Structure 1
Amino acid sequence: MQIDDPLTETEDVPGAQSLTRGIDLLLLLGRSAPLSFKEIQDHLGLSKGSVHRLLSALRSRRLIRYDRQTRRYAIGATVMSLARGALDRDATVRACQAEMSRLTQVLRVPCCLYVSDDDSVFVLDAADPAGRTVRVWPRLGLLDSPPGQAILAAQPAGRKNEWSADLQRVISKARALGYVAGFGDPLFVAAAVRDGDGTVVGALCCQFDPAGTHPDALHMAGQTIREAARRASHHVGLTQRLNEQVIAPRPDAPFRGTVRDTGRDYVGESPSWCATTGRLWWLDVLAPALRWLDVGNGTNGRILLEGLTGGLALTTDEELLLTGENGLSLFHPGTGLSTPLVDPESHRPENRFNTVGVDAEHCLWTGTMPLDNLEKSGTLYRIRPDLSADIIVSEIYLPKNTVFSQNGRRAYLTEQDPTAGHAVLVAYDLGDDGMPCARHELFVGSDEIGQPAGLAIDAEDCLWVAMRGGWSVIRLDAHGQLLAHVPLPVPMPTALTFGGPDMGSLFVTSTYLRLPPGYNDIAPLSGRLIELRPGVTGLPPVRVKLERP
């Protein structure tokens, strides 16, 4: 039996012979089919007694297992659990999952996340258009594979003199294009992913059938993969920061509501009820996708969007107004046609627009935030029906979820306090011109109760707040006094809105991508849409009324 030796050209560490031999055995079993005692002994070159002691020690910790029928040894449950936990905690994996899923749906081919290991690259995670299929992805050379070359191309040019002339040409072309296209069998296209500091952490790579893929189509796919890698790079910065999210203790009170069967969202946001269609619309920001639910019959679906989209508002027509990395646009769910409107921050490509609220004058309140979600300031805008824009706050951190009192004289939104590390629910008193004239902090988040996120107003002019990290939504009066606390089966609710035929349902979106490590198993319903019946009703959303030319 030919077995690749995982420890070629390595040196033993003095004084750690037994440990080194045990690691050798684990690496051997991890990179081969199950082996017999004799095969292990022959490969390691040890005595029977030594091999027996190593196997017994590793079996005692469930690092390896023994099949009595085949009389062979293989990797055990503890190693599998360690690997699963490491993947669950890995910021790069978690940040790239949304983009890999999206690429498989758009390109209809498998997508892998490759990372480098000395002179090779290997698959850390993968997505397949066929769903959960079992595949074996072999290691590839760092220098002679598209994912390896994409990783090299994104690194500083200091190693250029170490490369052959052919590799230098490939790297130079990759730097110009932003991706590597490998014309072999199969065809590969790969683009590098960076973390929040600009360090290369891996590469997204898609595999194509050479028989049915034209070179022009391959380069079109390269542009799509390049943009996905760019978005994933921003997600890595986002996920690294969100790993610091503190989850409050889970409430003891039982959950009294309904978890809708709409599947999981990476980051659900911006729910809005449309009485005309009987549908609830919302966004999965990092898919990115437009989601919908027919509340009457339970049917639901998703429509993939071109760029990161954080805000959604109903208009007086069939179109929806969307805000995101390309500014403001109109989107027709029936035709899929997107019409760009305006981008007040076209000069700041590192920013994107977030959630949107509509005031009594049909003006849009929407803020910007950095794509990487780091602690940088954005701007809060008020955009009029003629698309002219006023700056409300020139420097503000993560403004989102603006809602308005029934008399239109007060605006509520959440902001992030970068110095204190918590979110704040803020109220702005509005003047006769609709612009803020005074600011009040109503409610401050904490590790014990969670951070205020999504907002909704009920018919009694009270605020409902989704508490990110707090397993709950709460009800506050106009002065910020707590009136009710409603437990949820998910720790990270993101946004909420009233809806349903009687406006008596409170729909709550949530996220699972933003969970700290280990919480996917603790809170498996994370990312799902939740419906509550809080005993009060809401008001229909104000629709956008644009002045069309």
Structure 2
Amino acid sequence: MMSAAPESVWGVGAELGEGPVWVERDRALWFVDIKRQKIHRFDPASGAKRSWDSPEQIGFLLPASRGGFVAGLQSGLHHFSEQSGAFSLLASVEGDLPGNRINDGVVDPFGRLWFGTMDNSEEAPTGRFYRLNDGRVGDAGLPAVTITNGPAVSPDGRILYHVDTLAGLIHACDIAEDGSLGASRPFVRIDGKDGFPDGPTVDAEGCVWIGLYFGWEARRYSPAGELIDRIRFPTSNITKVAFGGEDLRTLYATSAQQGLKPQDLADQPEAGNLFAVRVDVPGTPGALISL
């Protein structure tokens, strides 16, 4: 099946829009532009739009239980205050790998932050996945890859989905009660001619949505890995989707201009924008990072 057509709700023109997250406490959609070092907030009720500068490339921004956000900057995890715009270092990550940066992340139902790093030049297999639990960062124990994406977590917090973007693979592994991971198993392989799997998220039925970079769409896969829905966009680089709105049935999607040639940009005037589309199955309420 094919869902309804998406609408551009913010012509932000991001170079590399990423990390959309619905924040219930202020009923707004937050996302970042990694390369332009920006944080964006969109209020769908009023249409209000606001942006902040980041001191470094920023891969994600996720709400913390103490207030504010945890931001995945190139140098590590930082606390961000939307009131002051200030950043404060929480934990350095991969200080011995200056060519790496933090890319994507998710909070599981137990308040643990899972996130990945990647080679900023997108060439070397130096990206790894990590877990922040009780204020401590630890290696998640997954194999190193060039571009990590996700992770995403099942509604019950028992399955972790992680993406090897250049290989076109989405993997799944079980999460034990102590947060340790079982062996990874293939979940979905995406043919390179269809684009590259970027950021994933999971809906209330446990289905995995994935944005396709250079693929013009977002796809929905069943828990068994079957393709059951897709949404076509007016631009090729769809980076990640997130559920939002009062009923969590608005699917927001970030996109990117990065990698597009001048003629591509002329043909895709909405490249880099924030999109929204209504879907039948909602997402799940987002958790706060225990911090």
Query: Scaled by the length of structure 2, what TM-score is found?
Result: 0.94
User: How many Å apart are 1:255 and its aligned residue?
Assistant: 6.3
After TM superposition, the structure 1 = structure 2 runs for residues 56-71 of structure 1, keeping only pairs within 5 Å, are none
8 Å contact kept, 2:202–2:283 = yes
Cα distance per residue 1:189-217 (max 9 Å; x no partner): xxxxxxxxxxxxxxxxxxxxxxxxxxxxx
8 Å contact kept, 1:356–1:401 = yes
Q: Does 1:337 align with 2:86?
A: yes
Q: Structure 1 or 2: larger strand share?
A: 2
Distance 1:408 1:391 in 2: 15
Distance 2:154 2:238 in 1: 22
8 Å contact kept, 1:267–1:514 = no
Task: Decide which moves more: 281-290 or 359-368.
Answer: 359-368
Q: Does 1:325 align with 2:70?
A: no
1:340 maps to a residue whose letter is L
Cα distance per residue 1:47-69 (max 9 Å; x no partner): xxxxxxxxxxxxxxxxxxxxxxx
Q: Does 1:461 align with 2:206?
A: yes
Aligned residue number for residue 534 of structure 1:
279
User: How many Å apart are 1:390 and its aligned residue?
Assistant: 3.5
Distance 1:512 1:388, change over 3 A: closer
8 Å contact kept, 2:11–2:272 = no
1:314 to 44, 48, 63: 63
Q: Which has the larger Rg?
A: 1
1:291 maps to a residue whose letter is H
Aligned residue number for residue 361 of structure 1:
110
1:429 to 166, 174, 180: 174
Aligned residue number for residue 162 of structure 2:
413
Distance 2:3 2:158 in 1: 37
Aligned residue number for residue 195 of structure 2:
450
Aligned length: 290
Aligned residue number for residue 122 of structure 2:
373
8 Å contact kept, 1:355–1:366 = yes
Distance 1:337 1:413 in 2: 31
Q: Does 1:518 align with 2:267?
A: no
User: How many Å apart are 1:324 and its aligned residue?
Assistant: 2.0
After TM superposition, the structure 1 = structure 2 runs for residues 85-124 of structure 1, keeping only pairs within 5 Å, are none
Runs (4 or more) in structure 1 with deviation over 6 Å come to none
Distance 1:469 1:310 in 2: 19
Cα distance per residue 1:453-486 (max 9 Å; x no partner): 1211111111111111111111101121011121
2:109 maps to a residue whose letter is A
8 Å contact kept, 1:255–1:489 = no
SS where residue 372 of structure 1 aligns?
Answer: coil
Distance 1:394 1:442 in 2: 16
Cα distance per residue 1:291-313 (max 9 Å; x no partner): 11011011102111100111221
User: How many Å apart are 1:509 and its aligned residue?
Assistant: 0.2
Cα distance per residue 1:113-160 (max 9 Å; x no partner): xxxxxxxxxxxxxxxxxxxxxxxxxxxxxxxxxxxxxxxxxxxxxxxx
Aligned residue number for residue 263 of structure 1:
12
Aligned residue number for residue 97 of structure 1:
none
Q: Does 1:498 align with 2:243?
A: yes
Q: Structure 1 or 2: larger helix share?
A: 1
User: How many Å apart are 1:432 and its aligned residue?
Assistant: 3.1
User: How many Å apart are 1:514 and its aligned residue?
Assistant: 2.3
SS where residue 26 of structure 2 aligns?
Answer: coil
Distance 2:173 2:235 in 1: 30
Distance 1:318 1:513 in 2: 32
Distance 1:266 1:503, change over 3 A: same
8 Å contact kept, 2:100–2:126 = no
Distance 1:473 1:404 in 2: 18
Q: Does 1:284 align with 2:284?
A: no
2:106 maps to a residue whose letter is G
Distance 2:6 2:58 in 1: 28
Aligned residue number for residue 131 of structure 2:
382
User: How many Å apart are 1:259 and its aligned residue?
Assistant: 0.7
SS where residue 184 of structure 2 aligns?
Answer: strand
SS where residue 276 of structure 1 aligns?
Answer: helix
Query: Cα RMSD between the aligned structures?
Result: 1.8
User: How many Å apart are 1:254 and its aligned residue?
Assistant: 9.6
SS where residue 408 of structure 1 aligns?
Answer: coil
Cα distance per residue 1:238-258 (max 9 Å; x no partner): xxxxxxxxxxxxxxx896221
User: How many Å apart are 1:532 and its aligned residue?
Assistant: 0.8
Distance 2:10 2:107 in 1: 29
Distance 2:33 2:133 in 1: 26
Distance 1:328 1:446, change over 3 A: same
Distance 1:365 1:448 in 2: 29
1:449 maps to a residue whose letter is D
1:497 maps to a residue whose letter is A
Distance 1:349 1:469 in 2: 27
Q: Which has the higher contact order (CA 8 A, sep 6+)?
A: 2
Distance 1:484 1:280 in 2: 23
1:280 maps to a residue whose letter is L
